[in-house]
Every structure is written in C-alpha cells, then in structure tokens.
Structure 1
Amino acid sequence: MNGIQHLIGTLILSMLCASMGCERSSVVASTSEKASNASGEPRETSFDDLKFEMEKTDAFKRSMLTPKIEDLFGSKIHIRGYMFPTLKRQGLTGFVLVRDNLECCFGPGAALYDCVWVKMRKGETAEFSIRPIAVEGVLRFEEFADMDGTTRAIYLLEQGSVD
C-alpha cells in the first residue's frame, strides 16, 4: 500500500464517520478499564508510543502490536496531533487525529499507526482546526477497514474531549 492509497483510505474513513455519526459495528478487543495512573490523571502518550514494526506492504496482524501498546488499551490517555481534514467544520462528533499536519506522514510512506480515530464524549463536539490539538479519552483497539478490506486504522479513542 502506498502513501496515496493510505491517504484516500483515511479520507474515506473520515467521510464515513461524518456521515454515520462515528458509530461502528465491528468487534472491539475486550479490554477492561485501567487506571490512568496512580493520580487518576490520563497517561501522557505520543504517536511514538503507538508505533510498531510493519513494512509498507504487510497486511496488519494484531500480533504486530507490542506489549507496551497492548497495555495502553483500556487506559485514559492524553495525546497531541492534528485533525485530519473533514468536509464538516463544526459539530464534529468524531474525527481522525494524525501525527502530522499532512506535510510529512500522509505523503508517500504513511503508516497505519500514525492515526487515531477519535469519538467524542456524548454531548460534546469539536471544531476543525489546522493547529495542533490535544485530545483525551480511553484508547481501544478496533480495526477499521475500507470497502476492499484494507485496514486503515486500528486505534479508537472513545469518550474523547479536545483540550
């Protein structure tokens, strides 16, 4: 899969979220709610913490995830990134958070672990921004595939809120 295909797949995923209200029916890995840390604050996380070994041509397999990544599932985290552009600008109930502002990671060589699907907390919405943002929520594993079955995202941040 090349960078353009990944970009198109991510854009399709973003458009589907906007049109479907971010509701998904695929299977989510069973993870119990974990303490964020001893103080109850969210775990400070970066896209580097979500990175794993994967060749561009490899099909995704859950076994690629490291124990450190698996340990994050079910935890409340705080992560910074950029909103992937959407057709809708206000009242977003969900969006794709990416590592970079499209000038780097979503060109050729984009990686599966460079995006997190954010589903906002019930009753909260976000406004599109071209500036970096910080998001908080519970990290889950959920595979999002496009119409040809290609996995486009694997990280879901539920109960999200934008700082």
Structure 2
Amino acid sequence: MFVFLSSMATAQEEETRKPVEIRKSSEASIAKGDITFDDLQFEITKDASFEKGMLSKDVKRLDGLKVKLRGYILPSTLFKETDIEQFVLVRDNQECCFGPGAALFDCVIIEMLPGRTTDFVTRPVTVTGKFKIETEKYKYPGGKGPGGASHFAIFKIAGESVK
C-alpha cells in the first residue's frame, strides 16, 4: 500500500509561483514512445472525482503503447532501497505529485515486469515499458478519498527497465 502525502506548499508560495510551460511531445516523439508528464494531462481539478470521460483522445491513444517516461522515484512509497518491484514515478522531486492535493496526471504507478527490479536513486530516471490506463485498480477504498478524490492514480507502466 502507498503512503499519501499532503501538500507542503503554503498559500503564499502557491500565489508567487509562475505557471509552468506545458511541453507536450511532438508526433514524432510519441511515435517513438517518448512521452512526458505533460502528455498525460487532461481536464480535472485537484481532488475531484475521476470519470473516464475526462480523458482526452490524446491521452487515450497512449494506452497500450510501449513508452519511455522520465521522472523521479517517490521515496515515501518505497519499503526498501534495492530490488524494487513497484514504485510511483512523479513529475518532479519535490514530492508534491502524489496523494491528496496532487494532480491525478502527475504520477504513474510503475509495476516492474516479473524478474525485473530497480534501485532507488534521487536523480531523474527514465522508465521504459507498456503504458496502461487503469481506471479501476487505483481507487481509494470505497471510491472516497481526501477532498472528494476517487482515485490516487490512473496510469501504470509495466516496467521493462529503469535507467
């Protein structure tokens, strides 16, 4: 089971942050399987209940593709530092992108293929594997989470490698 984090940012920090520029992958990059967390974005407010109809066609087309996604291993979801079989990959290393208050599209559950593992590192990693949209597996118990959220994740990669 995963540990959920609350947002550490103060209201003042939230107000002074500049909007992040969205950088979606080019068609050529997507054709090669190179995606970014920006490619996973869809219209949903933080802590909202998720419905399948919220997913854009651009996100849906990634389902089943072999992809490469760069991000950070979220350390609070780990129970060991080596031979890790499952972890959460997040957009940045500020540990802000998982659990209550986080955008649903800012985390991807990584389940390594049988016999494959990775070790924890603090630097960014690139995960390669089959991308899957899982709309039922990662729901909060009873479908009711903090702030009204229904899911803690909806994206998964069956990890072939982590580099």
Q: Is the 8 A contact 1:138 1:159 kept in 2?
A: yes
2:107 to 110, 115, 120: 115
Which letter maps to 2:109?
A: W
TM-score normalised by L of structure 2? 0.70
User: Is residue 44 of structure 1 aligned with residue 8 of structure 2?
Assistant: no
Deviations 1:4-34 (A, max 9, x none): x9526xxxxxxxxxxxxxxxxxxxxxxxxxx
Structure 1's unaligned 5+ residue stretches are 9-36
User: Is residue 67 of structure 1 aligned with residue 65 of structure 2?
Assistant: no
CA shift for structure 1 position 45: 0.2
2:124 to 98, 108, 132: 132
Structure 2's unaligned 5+ residue stretches are 7-26, 144-149
CA shift for structure 1 position 146: 2.6
User: Tell me, what secondary structure is at the counterpart of 2:59?
Assistant: helix
Q: Is the 8 A contact 1:117 1:157 kept in 2?
A: yes
Q: Is the 8 A contact 1:145 1:151 kept in 2?
A: yes
Q: What fraction of aligned residue pairs are identical, expressed as a percent?
A: 42
Deviations 1:34-87 (A, max 9, x none): xxx99xx84100000001111124200111111011000010000100001112
Aligned residues: 129
User: Is residue 156 of structure 1 aligned with residue 156 of structure 2?
Assistant: yes
Partners of 2:162 and 2:59 in 1: how far apart?
22
The answer for the alignment partner of 1:12 in structure 2 is none
Which letter maps to 2:140?
A: D
Structure 1 or 2: larger strand share?
1
TM-score normalised by L of structure 1? 0.70
User: Tell me, what secondary structure is at the counterpart of 2:5?
Assistant: helix
The answer for the alignment partner of 2:5 in structure 1 is 7
Partners of 1:107 and 1:92 in 2: how far apart?
20
User: Tell me, what secondary structure is at the counterpart of 1:48?
Assistant: helix
Measured on the aligned residues, the alpha-carbon RMSD in Å equals: 2.5
User: Tell me, what secondary structure is at the counterpart of 1:145?
Assistant: coil
CA shift for structure 1 position 159: 3.8
Q: Is the 8 A contact 2:134 2:154 kept in 1?
A: yes
Partners of 1:122 and 1:106 in 2: how far apart?
25
User: Tell me, what secondary structure is at the counterpart of 1:135?
Assistant: strand
